[in-house]
Copies of this chain bind each other. A is one copy, B any other.
Amino acid sequence: MNSYTAPIRDMQFALFDVLEAEALYAKLGADTAQRDVLDAVLEEAAKFTQGVLAPLNQSGDAEGCTHDRETGKVTSPKGFADAYRQYVEGGWAGLTAPEAVGGQELPESFGLLFKEMIDAANLAWGNYPLLSHGATEALKHHGEDWQKDVFLTRIVSGEWTGTMCLTEPHCGSDLGLLRTRAEPREDGSHAISGTKIFITAGEHDFTDNIVHLVLARLPDAPAGTKGISLFIVPKVKVDREGRVGDANTVHCGSIEHKMGIHGSSTCVMNFDGAEGWLIGQPNKGLNAMFTMMNTARLAVGVQGLGLIDRAFQNALAYSRDRLQMRSMSGAKFPDKPADPIIVHPDVRRMLLTCKALGEGSRLLALHAATLVDVMERSTDEQERRDADAFLSFLTPVVKACLTEWSVECTYHALQCFGGHGYVREWGMEQLARDARITTIYEGTTQIQALDLLGRKVIQQQGVGLKQAAAMLQSFCAEHAGNDAMSEFITPLAEAAKDYEALTREIAGRAGENPDEIGAAAVDYLFCTGYLMLGYWWARSVVAAEAGTHDDAFRQAKRETARFYFARILPRRLTHAAAIRSGGENLLRLDAAHFDA
């Protein structure tokens, strides 16, 4: 009852028309990324995700994963493992991985569109390859050669999958508290012991082996986050020559029963002196982990995007179909017993909110991914450094805003269905339940906001922020004389100016009291997100009118942009007022008196 069609046209528009990716790929020497090839791959990706993954979404939710206490085995929902086999056979696993390890080395920004399709089609299933992608990044950047040969190639081929084992029962956002131990052994390996929780894809029936990347402490490690190292701990032991041996002492103790993503296994993993291999430098595990986390954070942002689009598509179809009441300005379909609910202004408001946030989010995420491409492929060191700084600034925004908007938009889309949205068969409530994890895992919205404001803006003196400001300024200057664009450029320039002022005000107050950062962070994050989306919507109008698009497409872009500027961008007013009210109104009430 809940369907998905990959929005290929808007994806192409976003990547090629707005972000001008063809020129970028050429400049970066991504020779295989020719437009005709990419278009063909998109079509195939749509076929795979719509045909194989989407039909398993509701059944996977209803069935969930099961865990056998005796053996520790986890069984995924019917069809999931077979879909993974098709994914591997289709060559999808290595789409963006380096050719040197067997990948196809297509740009990350292009891979993001495939990722969006997967998440829209079947978010729970998508978590299995997502974690492999993170492991790939960590191994690519920090692994020794033999580790790449043995583990990375098999993850890239899809033969094995990866995980990220960070969280422990007492230690979620605060990794400094972690207790898992790593004891050196004579053969250069380590014995890893401890318990990790909330391990996505920690155990499953897709592959014979699973490559866990585990944070643990060496015996002499300093306390806190400076004493954490990263280890490769395969489910089945593998030697340096790649020979598969006995089962390792890693065991899935149980799986969580969750609000949503029932088809994803979320595991408690027990490491009992398991054989592990240090990756990167001792006590520098967080560096390597951040490589994975940044990738994973963008990926979770894309999950939000996928959910928004799927929710929107279904709500739109229902709103065109469902007859209920007459338009207040007179019957629009007098021959029908009632008008379709899409005539009602507030239904349109909800649909347009999904459309504006969804299509805007696609551009924001793609922009971040093009920066990954520049970082990985540019031959100009300054350009790579700039891209890195800008990406660091944008990553928490993509992660947090897109996921928060997915919670909002799955809410709106469900609301369009009325009571039918609340019953399982229509599939809308699943999207809302699935969305709810995205603002939590890979760092909550609160953690992202502190990363953005505390680390990227205040501590690093806003290197990325300055690039965002320059981007906005140059765009506004370029279109300053364009009357047709002034309805967008004027409010965008005003929003950018107020954002700069806000940033200065917060920085000033933070000098007095660092808690002012925490008090402003989430509102600041949203201000950033709404400003960025304003930029992308204005650029969308320019790109739509420059290209050879039909009138309907151009109208849709311009009207959605108008809606965005009229009804979404003004959210910044409330966020700015909250920020300007300062931290005292949050800090004054004694913790003991909240329920006085």
Contact = CB atoms under 8 A, between A and B. Distances in A.
Interface string A432-455: 110011011100111001000010
A444 B423 contact: no
A567 B594 contact: no
A596 B174 contact: no
Interface residues of A, number: 104
A258 B423 contact: yes
B436 A590 contact: no
Given A552-B590, A555-B590, A324 B173 contact: yes
23 contacts: A173-B418, A256-B424, A313-B595, A316-B594, A316-B595, A320-B591, A329-B513, A329-B515, A344-B446, A345-B521, A346-B446, A348-B587, A349-B522, A415-B440, A421-B440, A552-B592, A555-B589, A555-B596, A563-B585, A563-B589, A567-B578, A570-B577, A570-B581
Interface string A379-390: 000000000000
Contacts of A407: 411
Contact of A349 (B173, B176, B337, B586): B586
A365 B553 CA distance: 47
Nearest to A171: B324
A352 B581 CA distance: 15
Contacts of A441: 419
Contact of A419 (B167, B352, B566, B594): B167
Contacts of A454: 328
A317 B316 CA distance: 41
A590 B295 CA distance: 38
Contacts of A555: 589-590, 593, 596
A154 B586 CA distance: 51
A429 B259 contact: yes
A346 B574 contact: no
Nearest to A320: B591
Contacts of A595: 7, 313, 316, 556
A172 interface: yes
A176 to B, nearest CB: 8
Interface string A401-434: 0000001000100110011011111000100110
Contacts of A589: 348, 352, 555-556, 559-560, 563
Nearest to A515: B329
A513 B329 CA distance: 7
Interface in A330-371: 337-338, 340, 342-349, 351-352, 355
A527 interface: no
B425 A440 contact: no
Nearest to A550: B596
A470 interface: no
